[in-house]
């Protein structure tokens, strides 16, 4: 089995991260933003796993466990918020929530 060089893993992780980030910025639907966030979290997970296997350490996998738990919790909260948002604004458009600009 040939070892995959660290650079390739990191490039994959970066590309995934960027795709996720562009998704967060470009998408207007809050559900898709949440999904793009998951992509970004998984990109970091890939980076940790890759680094752990390259250095033969268990730390990378431990970190990924942590991220998975975090992602699960985050999605739970995020979906709950989405349901409240749909209820209150009758829309999932994130730009509707612009009260921060003040009057």
Cβ 40 to another protein shortest distance, Å: 11
Cβ 17 to another protein shortest distance, Å: 11
Cβ 53 to another protein shortest distance, Å: 26
**Closer to another protein by Cβ: residue 44 or 61:** 44
Non-local (6+) Cβ contacts of 31 within 8 A are 82, 92
Report DSSP state, residue 56: T
Q: By the criterion CB under 8 A, which residues form the site for another protein?
A: 21, 24-26, 28, 94-95, 97-102
How far apart (Å, rounded) are the C-alpha atoms in residues 52 and 1? 17
How far apart (Å, rounded) are the C-alpha atoms in residues 38 and 67? 10
**Closer to another protein by Cβ: residue 2 or 98:** 98
């Amino acid at each position: 089995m040939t070892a995959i060089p660290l650079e390739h893993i990191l490039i994959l992780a970066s590309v995934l991260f960027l795709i996720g980030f562009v998704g967060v910025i470009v998408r207007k639907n809050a559900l898709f933003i949440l999904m793009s966030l998951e992509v970004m979290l998984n990109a970091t997970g890939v980076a940790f796993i890759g680094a752990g296997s390259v250095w033969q350490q268990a730390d990378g996998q431990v970190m990924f466990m942590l991220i998975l738990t975090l992602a699960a919790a985050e999605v739970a909260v995020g979906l709950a918020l989405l349901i409240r948002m749909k209820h209150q604004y009758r829309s999932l458009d994130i730009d509707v929530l612009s009260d921060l600009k003040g009057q």
